[in-house]
Structure 1
Amino acid sequence: MERALRLPIASPASTPVGFLRARSRPTCQFCNRPSSSCKRRAFSSLLGGAAAWPLQARAQQQTMPVIGFLVAGTPLSHGQWVAAFVQRLRELGWIEGRTIAIEYRWGEGRNERFAEIAAEFVRRKVDVIVTSATAAVVAAKQATSVIPIVFAAAGDPVGTGLVASLARPGGNVTGLSIQQTDLAAKRLELLREVVPGLRRLAILANVGGPAVVLDMREVQATARTLGLEVITSEIQRGEDIASAFKALKGRADALYVAIDPLVHTHRIRINTLALATRLPTMHGSREPVEAAGLMSYGPNLPDLWRRAAEFVDKILRGAKPADIPVEQPRKFDFVINLTTANALGLDVPPTLLARADEVIE
């Protein structure tokens, strides 16, 4: 909105003592010209400046680096992680709207959206693409081999072919791993402590995610070594979730939910259906446990997203993605929802509660 222009009105020149003038013409106190002339000049000058403001703003925005933010989920599912990223950027001197421009696009956990958004960012020639989740990174990598890509979280960057190695990523992609397949055994160990009679394990997995498929295979292999029967429930859309739970009813003692943007976007619905079918759940991050899941073990995702901002900072200052090693989590969270445990009639051992980083009551 344009501001109203308020112009200072020059005071009339004072009349020396001893001189009588029937009507004096006010003059400008600075240049001694008639003040009406100066007012016109001032107004014209200010109007010209006001017209130039939008042009200057546009020019400034065009010179700012632009981040194309392909957020794999929705504002509700991923908003707090995005906020952590933007806050860390600010701490590093990249202030949104002043020194950096960020274009947000929400993938809603849908692979077809990832490809559309990645192609749009390539057309717009953004300076860096930031994303998370293997399927979204794959879409971005397929869209460009030139624009740097930073992933805030990817399940198994080497196993899924995102990078050549953690130490030397190569190409235009780098970021942070969540060690998805490495944590499967630990999650099953914790789940067995809470559900001691566990014999039949169900796995809910979005098979459209490359890292999810690897995670699912790792869980299947680990479960079989423990003598567990495994029931796999594969989904690819939010519409598949209800029918998946219907098929699981009465067939499983617990549910392993493979972390993925699709299941994270629908975490409330998944946990509601799990409670209705009396299934204890194990998740890969704390956020689903806040939404009535039973428990989770995995990396602290806000911390990973903050660190992703540091990768972007390095790239904007001249570093090449190929030369920035992929990093791993530094913080892991073990979270238990005691309210959910009570609703399922489960007694959580005090020793396990003592080991938890957070207990939700």
Structure 2
Amino acid sequence: MRRRDLLAGLLATTTASALRAAEPNKIYRLAIVSTVADLSETGMYKPLFVELRRLGYVEGENLVVLRFSTKGDTSRYDETVRDAVSSSPDLIFVSGTSHLLLRVKALVRSIPVVGGMNDPIALGIVTNLARPEGNITGISVDAGIEIFGKRLGILLEVAPTASRVGFLCTEAFWNSAGGDAMRAAAHNFSVKVVGSPLQGLAQEAEYLRVLDLLQREHADGLLVTDGPQHLAHRDVIVDFAKGARLPAIYPYREYIEIGGLMAYAIDRQDVNRRFARYIDAIFKGAKPSELPIYQVDKYTTIINLKAAKMQGITIPASLVLRADEVIE
């Protein structure tokens, strides 16, 4: 049995046991700590709230949701986490970056934590995936450094003569191991990285500055990294790529749904539903140390032929045949 299947089985078993321990008439307090500003039920966390509602948690009835955002400002991590702890939640859900989860690990000892993370063992978040010690569990979305080469390879199939590619990422990411991996991938494909990382809090004006710079530096393609803050500005990013007729590859399906060209992506809706099930299990008595960290290992290639036609971009037939989903 594969490790992922084993972990899923253990989670299902633990969740079933927790269901028997549910407390009637309890009001549950959920603190959401994130790097993004929109933590509403209609924003990027909509699938989480939909699944929580399906599981019987309704905000304003038996669920109190306490929202805390760093708004992309890394200097606010500790303050935001302390504010969340002061709100006396039953559970803290952490989303955004592994660095934020690391700050939660350093500052939160007894409150159960469910979080999204890259490689949790390499980062020092846990030492055992099947039985995470301490108060943290969650979902690992870690495709390794190979993800940049994979996405860039797909992009260059669509733009085989490209020699200048922009990577849309934050300055923190650019200066991290992820940035090193992106540049290594570009080197392996003999393309030059152009443009600039996003500075500061990366509001809309900053996205426009960076995207305008890509155009002035004659980028032949665009690769958008996985940063959750990009999702809040996906309209700006996709509109730019369409207007510039620039081949672009995205990390999530949400970009394709508004006219993006293609994505090599995890299923974020499935991930958010799984987060809700972790929250449900802990609310009903399970301990984080009893809930295995789930490892996402399925990526899908999505091609938007309608967008390609509008942009005057030809998608190779070989890529269309390999795609998991084609939008026509």
d(CA) in 2 for partners of 1:164, 1:217: 25
Deviations 1:236-294 (A, max 9, x none): 32242222223322342111111112212111112223334442211111112223322
Query: Could you tell me whether the CA contact under 8 Å between 1:71 and 1:78 is conserved in 2?
Result: no
Residues 338, 328 of structure 1: CA spacing in aligned structure 2 closer, same or farther, 3 A cutoff? same
Deviations 1:140-174 (A, max 9, x none): 334422212112x3344344443335334333222
Compute the displacement of 1:193 (Å).
1.6
Compute the displacement of 1:110 (Å).
4.0
- Counterpart residue type for residue 244 of structure 1: V
2:291 to 324, 327, 340: 324
CA RMSD of aligned residues (A): 3.0
Compute the displacement of 1:327 (Å).
0.9
Query: Could you tell me which residue of structure 1 aligns to residue 304 of structure 2?
Result: 337
Compute the displacement of 1:67 (Å).
0.6
Superposition pairs of residues 122-271 of structure 1, within 5 angstroms: 122-134=85-97, 135-151=99-115, 153-181=116-144, 182-209=146-173, 213-231=176-194, 233-236=196-199, 237-238=202-203, 239-248=205-214, 249-271=216-238
Superposition pairs of residues 32-111 of structure 1, within 5 angstroms: 63-75=26-38, 79=42, 81-111=44-74
Count of aligned pairs: 299
Compute the displacement of 1:112 (Å).
4.8
Residues 245, 100 of structure 1: CA spacing in aligned structure 2 closer, same or farther, 3 A cutoff? closer
Query: Could you tell me which residue of structure 2 aligns to residue 354 of structure 1?
Result: 321
Percent identical across equivalent pairs?
A: 31
Compute the displacement of 1:204 (Å).
1.4
Residues 213, 78 of structure 1: CA spacing in aligned structure 2 closer, same or farther, 3 A cutoff? farther
Query: Could you tell me whether the CA contact under 8 Å between 1:70 and 1:114 is conserved in 2?
Result: no
- Larger RCO (alpha carbons 8 Å, 6+ apart): 2
Which shows bigger deviation, 340-349 or 189-198? 340-349
TM-score w.r.t. the length of structure 2 is: 0.78
SS at match of 1:233: coil
Query: Could you tell me whether the CA contact under 8 Å between 1:110 and 1:262 is conserved in 2?
Result: no
Compute the displacement of 1:299 (Å).
0.8
Query: Could you tell me whether the CA contact under 8 Å between 2:173 and 2:179 is conserved in 1?
Result: no
d(CA) in 1 for partners of 2:28, 2:184: 46
Query: Could you tell me whether the CA contact under 8 Å between 2:141 and 2:297 is conserved in 1?
Result: no
Compute the displacement of 1:77 (Å).
9.2
Q: Which runs of 5 or more residues in structure 1 are unaligned?
A: 1-59
SS at match of 2:167: strand
1:279 to 242, 246, 250: 246
Residues 92, 116 of structure 1: CA spacing in aligned structure 2 closer, same or farther, 3 A cutoff? same
Query: Could you tell me which residue of structure 1 aligns to residue 258 of structure 2?
Result: 291
Compute the displacement of 1:113 (Å).
5.5
Query: Could you tell me whether the CA contact under 8 Å between 1:128 and 1:150 is conserved in 2?
Result: yes
Query: Could you tell me which residue of structure 1 aligns to residue 19 of structure 2?
Result: none
Query: Could you tell me whether the CA contact under 8 Å between 1:303 and 1:331 is conserved in 2?
Result: no
d(CA) in 2 for partners of 1:120, 1:111: 15
Query: Could you tell me whether the CA contact under 8 Å between 2:137 and 2:292 is conserved in 1?
Result: yes
Larger Rg: 1
Q: Which runs of 5 or more residues in structure 2 are unaligned?
A: 1-23
Query: Could you tell me whether the CA contact under 8 Å between 1:215 and 1:258 is conserved in 2?
Result: no
TM-score w.r.t. the length of structure 1 is: 0.72
Query: Could you tell me which residue of structure 2 aligns to residue 53 of structure 1?
Result: none
Query: Could you tell me whether the CA contact under 8 Å between 1:133 and 1:261 is conserved in 2?
Result: yes
